[in-house]
Amino acid sequence: MKSKELQKERDFLNRLVEATNALIVIVDTVGNVTHINEKGTRILERRKEEIVGKSWLKHLAPEEWAVYGHELFKKLQRKQLPNRYIHSLSRR
């Protein structure tokens, strides 16, 4: 994909994430937040600077998700669960 096309695709995906009326968090391979959308900052009542770089499960997710969420994240890392499964975690 050409650089210009790639940038166009990234811009589109960013607009989609920001326009979504739901909390969307993107984490890296160790569970640290790399991006959170504007709706997410409003739901959590925190600024992006307070969220990005922090462990989602350790600092931001409800305590009752800690063990369950950690196990799910490890399974995702080992590709034992489809990515869409995380959606279910956010509804528990």
Q: Where are the domains of the chain?
A: 1-55, 61-92
Helical (H) or strand (E) element with 87: helix 86-91
| DSSP structural state of residue 18 | H
Res. 89: pLDDT tops 60: no
Asked if residues 44 and 23 have their Cβ atoms less than 8 Å apart, the reply is: yes
CATH of segment(s) 1-55: 3.30.450.20
In this prediction, residues 77-92 reach a mean pLDDT of 57
> For residues 73 and 63, what is the distance between their CA atoms, to the nearest angstrom?
15
Q: What's the chain's length in residues?
A: 92
Percentages helix, strand, coil for the chain (3-state, rounded to 5) are 60, 10, 30
Q: Which of 31, 60, 36 is nearest to 48 (CA)?
A: 36
3-58 per-position pLDDT tens digit: 999 999 999 988 998 999 998 988 888 889 999 999 999 998 999 999 999 988 87
Q: What is the pLDDT of residue 59?
A: 76
